Every structure is written in structure tokens, then in C-alpha cells.
Amino acid sequence: MSKRSIIHMLNPMKHNSPFDINMALDAGYDALIPYNNVELSDVAGLTQDAIFSRGPAGVKKTGMFIGGRDIGLAMDMLEAAKSAMVPPFEVSVFADPSGAFTTAAALVACVERELKKHFQQDYKDCRAVVFGGTGPVGLATAVIAALQGADTTIVDHFSLDTALQFADDARTRYGVNLRATTAASDADKARLLSNADVVFCTAKAGIQVLNASVLGDALQLKVAGDVNAVSPLGIEGIELMDNGAPLKFTSQSTNAVGIGALAVGNVKYKLQQALLRETLESEKPVYLDFRNAFEGARQLA
């Protein structure tokens, strides 16, 4: 009898994401097994239970998915799973906590496309500001942009100490230098926008971060991307389906353009599907994180 394909979904939180479960099933897996409240110390044992029970043929139809909300922990769990493999007993592992890696990759790739299309520029020599930069999507966005050469600032709404802590962790883990600041008032936001080339808005859903008045100070802004799909949207004037549309409320001399949440989401959806299918169909084990996600997003965008 032919073995069924199985994906084991490890999550350090109380619940696995229904979004991820739906995506894995639609990607072609026959069975999805969720594990909740998984600790880092559990990963090696769970991995070896998964690989040794199916034989060399069965492991080719077995995958692992790592969720949660903490991107640093997800990377540690990915490395723990990889280290627990015993060739030829190896399975593919894909980390995408809270969809942060695929969402961030799609956002950065869409903005990069518009930078090249309208301004003949890439991220090198660009100043990028990430509002909501201490959340999982925001931090992943900042790391990807910085790795592409952007001078990147992460913004926490409340706490400078929190922003500095996340920037320090990014430097240690990923070798990128992020600036860190806080911006609770419109004056703070206007100051950050005054010399920004790129803005990423990754704050909580349903919160308007940048209003028309603040955008009026964005005198050299080129591209702004927003991943908030719940009204009010994160950046005033950007519509959900905008995909390089002129950005309202900025100086016309900047020719700035905007990218809305559903335009980003379209790339993110296709990207997550493609990466899940890769874990199922690859002849050799693959270990996928935000770097692989960005490579794929560039092709899709």
C-alpha cells in the first residue's frame, strides 16, 4: 500500500493556526497532525519519532511545519529539527511563525519591484522604516530589507527599550544592523518619514498608523506597503488592492506609490503554497525559512 503524506505541525502556542492547516491540506498533504505547547527541548524527540517510523520511502512523504509567533524561537526549532535528522532518515522542515516569513517576504519583494519599476533603484542606499517593527511580521520584514542593503529602522509604538532589544537580537542572530526607535505621536512619525525612501506598515490590524497629515512630511518617500487588511487600514490613502498605485497625501513631486494588504496577500498566499508543496515534492530534504521565502517571493512578485 502506498504511504500517505503527513505533515507534523509544531506550535509552541495553545493553538495551531487554522490558516496554516488549510494551506497545508490545499498544498497536497493527506494528513495534518497538530502539536500544541511544544517547547524547544521537545523538537528533537518529536522529529526522530517522525522519521524513524516510516522508513526511507516514507520519509519522502513526511514533512514538518513550525508555527508560533516568536521568529527567533521558530528559527531555533528549525535548527533543532534539522540537527535531529539521521540520514537517510530526513524530512523537510518549513518554519513560518504566524505566517511572518511569507508575509514579510511578499511585502519586501512587492516594494522592491516598485522601487525598480518607478525609480530604477534597489534597497541599497535606501532608508527603510518599519512601523510595528517589533512584531513577528515587522521584524522579519526589517531583517529581509536589511539583508538586501537597506538602512532599516524598526519602530515600536510604546517602548524604545523593546525596539533596542529586538535590534540587538537581530544583530546577534542574523548579522544585520537595525536602527531602533519609538514613535507614539504624529510628530515622531513625521520625523521618521521626512527622510525615508521606503515605509513598511506591519502594525496590528485595524490601527491607522500613518494619517494624511503625517504623510505630508514624507518628502522623499518612494514606496509604502501596508499589510493591514482590517479597517481602518494602516496607511491612510492606500487601498486594499493597490499594487503600485499613486500614494495619496504625499507631495506629488515624490511620485510615491503604495501597495495594499491584499496585493501583498496574493503573493504571500501563492508563496506559502509553493513552499509547502516544495516540502512535499522535493526529492531531497529542504529546510525553509525567511531567506527561502524571499527568494520565492521575488519570483512571484
Tell me the three state secondary structure of residue 167. Answer: helix
Tell me the three state secondary structure of residue 117. Answer: helix
pTM for this structure? 0.96
Amino acid 1: pLDDT = 59
Is the Cβ–Cβ distance between 178 and 150 less than 8 Å? no
**DSSP string covering 133-149, please?**
TTSHHHHHHHHHHHHTT
In the chain, the N- to C-terminal Cα span, in Å, equals 41
Pairwise CA distance, residues 69 & 131, whole Å: 18
The CATH class of 6-99+267-300 is alpha beta
Q: Do 6-99+267-300 and 102-264 show the same overall fold?
A: yes
Continuous H helices in the chain: 18-26, 43-52, 55-59, 71-83, 100-119, 136-147, 160-174, 186-193, 212-215, 261-281, 290-300
* Strand pairing category for 243-246 and 257-259: antiparallel
Q: Which amino acid is at 100?
A: A
Task: Judge whether residue 252 has pLDDT over 90.
Answer: no
* Relative orientation angle of helices 290-300 and 100-119, to the nearest 10 degrees: 40
Q: What percent of the chain has pLDDT over 70?
A: 100
pLDDT, the chain, mean: 96
The CATH class of 102-264 is alpha beta
- pLDDT tens string 273-291: 999 999 999 999 999 999 9
Pairwise CA distance, residues 77 & 146, whole Å: 23
Number of alpha carbons in the 13 Å side-chain half-sphere of residue 89: 14
- pLDDT tens string 6-55: 999 999 999 999 999 999 999 999 999 999 999 999 999 999 999 999 88
Q: How confident is the model at residue 250 (pLDDT cuts 50, 70, 90)?
A: confident
> Can you give the residue ranges of every domain in the chain?
6-99+267-300, 102-264
- pLDDT tens string 50-93: 999 988 888 999 999 999 999 999 999 999 999 999 999 999 99
* CA angle centred on 221, ends 123 and 170, rounded to 5°: 45
